[in-house]
Chain A
Amino acid sequence: MADEVVLLDLKVSPFAARVRIALEEKGISYESKVEDLSNKSSTLLKMNPVHKQIPVLIHNGRPICESMIIVQYIDEVWSHKSSLLPSDPCRRAHARFWADYIDKKIYPIGRNLWASEGEVKESSKKDLVECFKVLEEELGEKPYFGDESFGYIDLALVPFYTFFYTFEILGELSMVAEFPKLVGWGERCLQKETVSKSLSGQKEVYEIILQIKQKLGIQ
């Protein structure tokens, strides 16, 4: 029986991008159903009644929610190629720890940077810089966070690479000056077709963020 794989999707969402990359890495055919978050489909509300958020992976009619939970599911079901998590429990724990760090820090702090003003924006900028310093140090001289090859941590972080231009303009930062290793890593990841075809361009993300800011009435 052929697998039916559907992704409730949104182009600019870093969380949906993670799932797209995982599906591409495994060579899985899927149908992408783009959601309008201002007018959520009945499918989305039915498949993710708890959070009503994308991404949702629907595999043979059964929904899985939360991006890194979906990624682990994909890795476990389609285990025949391109392992995303290492096999050793200690290295797996290390990968999960860093994906958790990225989830807890990069998205919420980054969002505060582009979605707020004044003092909140300033303190978000400081916090974000600290987080990127931590990530730059964790990456070190390795080509990928997963060491020799693209893996779980890289997948968790790389969609946020598309936000670097936004952080630079709105945060008055120079990502390449302050975090050269991270920028090099991002460019290296984009050499992979599975990554580049799954992500929007940095300027495109910036334009969308500006539109959102306008809608929310933020300067």
Chain B
Amino acid sequence: MAEVKLLGAWGSPFSRRVEMALKLKGVEYEYIEEDLGNKSPLLLKYNPIHKKVPVLLHNGKPIAESLVILEYIDETWKTNPILPDDPYDKAMARFWAKFLDDTCMPAIWQIMWSKENQREKAIEEAIQHLKTLENELKDKRFFGGETIGLVDIAANFIGFWLGAVQEASGMELVNKERFPVLCRWIDEYVNCSVVKQNLPPRDKLIAFLQSRFSASSWKY
């Protein structure tokens, strides 16, 4: 019998991406919560290179890195595909997922951790990248078309965590005036059942983020 386990963390968007994909495909799994301040021997054994969550264990074999895990899940369980069949469309989905992780998210975090005199520049850069993302969305319901796909799952940070970051810090990056299309997607996205089931409790996340921001004496 196939055995699926997931080492994750409640507040991690990367971990929640994997849960979303597993739930979307109806895969039964055992969830193991990791305390990232006190990493378990299991995590260190199964992800010795990065020592991070999420790690998927399938029949004892570990797979790490959320986008790698998402592709593995899509190739292993064929219900509700998250990637298109066509190689070109697949390449486009991979491109935008990578853009989210390598360009968009770091730019947003850069705002939070940059010094006051560099903050405006950091905000401008993040806005530019979010506009690029919004342009890709255009009039599609989701990045994946009519149903959520790899890019929508990867964009969970934009869909939910960013709102919590904004509330916790007082910084406003995404609003309806600046990003009407992205906000429309966010509304659709968080109301989507498979997404709703795989989000951390908002208040708990905001409280956690607030403590992180105040610990670093970041002031907006």
Contacts and interface: CB of A to CB of B under 8 A. Distances in A.
Are A and B physically bound partners?
yes
Given A72-B90, A90-B72, A97-B65, 12 more contacts: A62-B88, A64-B91, A64-B95, A65-B95, A66-B95, A66-B98, A69-B94, A69-B98, A73-B87, A93-B63, A94-B63, A134-B49
A76 B71 CA distance: 14
Contact of A73 (B68, B91, B99, B132): B91
B87 A92 contact: no
Interface of A: 50, 59, 62, 64-66, 69-70, 72-73, 76-77, 89-90, 92-94, 96-97, 100-101, 134
Given A97-B68, A100-B68, A92 B95 contact: no
Contacts of A64: 88, 91, 95
B94 A92 contact: no
Given A96-B71, A97-B63, A100-B68, A72 B99 contact: no
Contacts of B72: 89-90, 92-93
Nearest to A75: B87
Given A64-B91, A73-B87, A90 B98 contact: no
Contacts of B90: 72-73, 76
Contacts of B65: 96-97, 100
What secondary structure prevails in chain A residues at the interface with B?
A: helix
A66 B68 contact: no
Nearest to A95: B68
Contacts of B98: 66, 69
Question: Lowest 10 CB-CB distances: which A-B pairs, in order?
Answer: A76-B87, A89-B75, A93-B72, A73-B91, A93-B63, A96-B68, A69-B94, A64-B91, A89-B76, A77-B87
A90 B72 CA distance: 7
B18 to A, nearest CB: 12
Contacts of B58: 90
Contact of B94 (A66, A77, A90, A101): A66
Interface of B: 49, 58, 61, 63-65, 67-69, 71-72, 75-76, 87-88, 90-91, 94-95, 98-99, 132
Given A50-B132, A97-B63, A73 B75 contact: no
B132 A69 contact: no
A72 B83 CA distance: 14
B76 to A, nearest CB: 5
B27 to A, nearest CB: 13
Contacts of A93: 63, 68-69, 71-72
Contacts of B87: 73, 76-77
Contacts of B68: 93, 96-97, 100
B29 to A, nearest CB: 16
B91 to A, nearest CB: 4
Contacts of A72: 90-91, 94
Contacts of A100: 65, 67-68
A83 to B, nearest CB: 14
A92 B67 CA distance: 12
Contacts of B69: 93
B151 to A, nearest CB: 13
A70 B65 CA distance: 20
A101 B49 contact: yes
A134 B69 CA distance: 21
Contact of A97 (B64, B88, B99, B132): B64
Contacts of A50: 99, 132
A56 to B, nearest CB: 11
Nearest to A131: B49
A69 B95 contact: yes
A203 to B, nearest CB: 32
